[in-house]
């Protein structure tokens, strides 16, 4: 039961109905017998700053999750940013300290890398091809470099966005072997689809399946469908595959621990 001592958490989004974080994080709190609740908060961009200021002044609120379209705007409203948020310019989780200070960080990339590790695919020392240069891909590029990938090549339809991701990662990790390139998957240990191709049934594949080598791990971050056409075809080609849900599962744990200071 929610009572006067219950700690508050929120997720801000626009639209809000599609979010799954309330179910997942409330189950997380319940499993740990924490007196805490996370509620969905529907906020349009023009109301964002006022709501964040309200959160800052809400003394029984310990943090909030941020999703589309607010990840970049909230980064500018925080008092401090963690390394992944600084490198990507966006946040998906904010912790509210007891004095009202807001600390933001980005766990998309860390969740993806941790998901790989839990499935036995540590990216350290591996050659990685990253397809896409949007919000999720930028965070994953940062975390692959942080995890010690031997090489990261970023391939994106809009080349300038791939170049920008590479530049930001190089700023954070000057020693990292990261560059923009094409989507030919031959010669990589890990290929990650971080484009939105695969969400709709008639989307083209993001790469040429016949150029995949059977040892290459093909990883998705799309969660619906679980077995995207890319994963189905990669599997039929003999490649090991990695599902999008592992990223979210690990991200939720990382976000909860950050907000709970665990």
Ligand X SMILES: NC(=O)c1ccc[n+]([C@@H]2O[C@H](COP(=O)([O-])OP(=O)(O)OC[C@H]3O[C@@H](n4cnc5c(N)ncnc54)[C@H](OP(=O)(O)O)[C@@H]3O)[C@@H](O)[C@H]2O)c1
Q: Is 206 exposed, middle or buried (0-12, 13-18, 19+ CB in 10 A)?
A: buried
Compare residues 56 and 71 and give the one whose CB is closer to ligand X.
71
Minimal distance in Å, beta carbon 97 to ligand X?
Answer: 26
Cβ proximity to ligand X: between 190 and 247 the closer is: 247
Smallest distance from ligand X to CB 138, Å: 8
Residue at shortest CB range from ligand X: 134
Q: In what order do the strands lie in the sheet with 93-96?
A: 36-42, 7-13, 61-66, 93-96, 102-105, 80-81
* Smallest separation (angstroms) from ligand X to the CB of 82: 17
Is residue 134 within 8 Å of residue 194, measured between CB atoms?
A: yes
The helix-helix angle for 135-146 and 159-172 (nearest 10°) equals 40
Task: Output 185 or 244, the one with its CB closest to ligand X.
Answer: 244
**Strand pairing report for 178-180 and 151-155:** parallel
CA 196 from chain center: how many Å?
Answer: 13
Q: Are strands 190-193 and 127-131 parallel, antiparallel or unpaired?
A: parallel
- Between 130 and 149, name the residue whose CB sits nearer to ligand X: 130
Q: How far is the CB of 24 from ligand X (least distance, A)?
A: 11
| CB atoms near residue 83 (< 10 Å) | 12
Question: Among the options 71, 161, 200, 224, which is catalytic?
Answer: 71
Interacting residues of 205 by C-beta distance below 8 A, sequence separation 6+: 197, 198, 229, 230, 233
Catalytic annotation present for 161: no
Q: How far is the CB of 148 from ligand X (least distance, A)?
A: 22
Sign of dihedral through CA atoms 261, 171, 220, 41? positive
- Contact residues for ligand X, defined by CB under 6 A: 108, 132-137, 156-158, 161, 194-197, 199, 221-223, 244, 247-248, 251
Q: With respect to ligand X, which residue has the nearer C-beta, 21 or 86?
A: 21
Catalytically active residues, by annotation: 71
């Amino acid at each position: 039961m929610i009572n006067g001592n219950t700690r508050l958490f929120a997720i801000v989004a626009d639209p809000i109905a599609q979010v799954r974080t309330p179910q997942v994080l409330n189950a997380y709190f319940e499993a740990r017998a924490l007196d805490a609740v996370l509620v969905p908060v529907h906020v349009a961009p023009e109301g964002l700053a006022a709501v964040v200021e309200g959160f800052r002044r809400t003394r029984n609120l310990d943090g909030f999750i941020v999703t589309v379209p607010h990840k970049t705007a909230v980064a500018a409203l925080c008092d401090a940013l963690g390394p992944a948020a600084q490198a990507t310019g966006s946040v998906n989780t904010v912790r509210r300290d007891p004095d009202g200070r807001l600390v933001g960080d980005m766990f998309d990339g860390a969740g993806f890398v941790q998901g790989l590790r839990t499935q036995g695919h540590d990216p350290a020392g591996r050659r990685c091809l990253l397809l896409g240069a949007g919000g999720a891909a930028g965070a994953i590029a940062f975390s692959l470099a942080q995890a010690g990938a031997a090489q990261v090549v970023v391939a994106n339809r809009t080349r300038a966005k791939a170049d920008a991701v590479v530049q930001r990662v190089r700023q954070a990790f000057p020693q990292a072997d990261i560059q923009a390139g094409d989507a030919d998957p031959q010669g990589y240990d890990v290929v990650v689809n971080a484009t939105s191709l695969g969400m709709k049934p008639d989307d083209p594949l993001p790469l040429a399946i016949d150029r995949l080598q059977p040892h290459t791990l093909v990883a998705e971050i799309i969660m619906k469908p679980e077995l995207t056409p890319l994963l189905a075809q990669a599997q039929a080609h003999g490649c090991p595959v990695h599902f999008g849900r592992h990223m979210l599962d690990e991200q939720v744990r990382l976000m909860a621990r950050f907000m709970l200071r665990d």
